[in-house]
């Protein structure tokens, strides 16, 4: 994993720099790495084939399990001085909307079909650990997650709707923020609140390291999903195309497209947050 040595040198030269700007600088290199994972590149080039339901489940449930843990820890630490300034449950909470989308596409028993990559478990375990022991570090995950959804998620939501041929936004409620009337103004408010959190030099460095870790954990998740995709493609091969009824193939394509677009918001957040 990267370190924040270069960021720390920059901080010494710019001691009054806002936390949001410091996160941008410290995650610049690893953000490029996240953008160039094999799964991301394959998706952008349209080279992801249809292996069935397995990868779709991994993508969707990656985000569901992550949000479930993050929002529980944010709720539990809502009064903590390092969390309270950025606690906006009515405006930003995404878990219920994602669950509605999952039920819309996959039915009420969608949880019985989930596949959770090992890297996702590592991610949620990390969130539990800092939520219990050092809640100020949650800002690194909440900032990149929620503002990424608010910005990049909006773009990806439109791409998803077009790519899978939906005539309405049904099933895409995750991408909408009815409690936010102006995304740009809200992002300014969020950054201002985040920058107001009182941190010592050591605590600030810890947040920067945590932001880098957030990207690194996302890269690990996408690497896991890429391995799942490769194994499943090899197992299915051309057999699925020959034996699977057209209606199932069509549904699988829609589900896979939605899952990938939702997951892309997790890694592509850096483009739009900053």
- Alpha-carbon distance 156 to 170, whole Å? 15
113 marked among binding-site residues: no
- Alpha-carbon distance 57 to 90, whole Å? 27
Contact 270, 211 (CB under 8 A): no
126 marked among binding-site residues: no
Which tokens belong to 136?
């100020």
Place of tokens 């990806």: 156
- Alpha-carbon distance 142 to 74, whole Å? 8
121 marked among binding-site residues: no
187 marked among binding-site residues: no
Which tokens belong to 258?
């939605």
The binding site for heme b comprises: 24, 31, 143, 191
The binding site comprises: 24, 31, 143, 191
């Amino acid at each position: 994993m990267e370190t924040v040595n270069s960021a720390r040198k920059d901080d010494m030269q710019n001691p009054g720099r806002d936390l949001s700007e410091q996160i941008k600088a410290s995650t610049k290199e690893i953000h490029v790495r996240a953008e160039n994972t094999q799964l991301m590149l394959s998706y952008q080039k349209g080279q992801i084939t249809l292996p069935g339901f397995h990868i779709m489940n991994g993508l969707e449930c990656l985000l569901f399990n992550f949000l479930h843990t993050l929002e529980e820890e944010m709720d539990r630490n809502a009064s903590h001085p390092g969390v309270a300034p950025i606690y906006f449950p009515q405006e930003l909470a995404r878990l219920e909307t994602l669950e509605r989308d999952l039920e819309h596409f996959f039915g009420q028993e969608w949880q019985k079909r989930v596949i959770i990559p090992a890297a996702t478990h590592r991610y949620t375990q990390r969130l539990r650990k800092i939520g219990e022991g050092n809640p100020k570090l949650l800002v690194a995950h909440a900032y990149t997650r929620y503002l990424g959804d608010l910005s990049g998620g909006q773009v990806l939501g439109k791409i998803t709707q077009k790519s899978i041929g939906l005539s309405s936004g049904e099933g895409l409620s995750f991408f909408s923020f009815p409690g936010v009337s102006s995304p740009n103004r809200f992002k300014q408010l969020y950054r201002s609140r985040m920058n107001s959190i009182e941190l010592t030099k050591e605590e600030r460095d810890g947040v920067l390291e945590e932001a880098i870790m957030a990207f690194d954990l996302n890269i690990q998740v996408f690497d896991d999903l890429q391995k799942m995709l490769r194994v499943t493609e090899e197992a299915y091969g051309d057999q699925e195309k020959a034996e699977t009824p057209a209606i199932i193939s069509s549904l699988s394509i829609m589900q896979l497209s939605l899952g990938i677009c939702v997951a892309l918001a997790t890694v592509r957040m850096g483009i739009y947050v900053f």
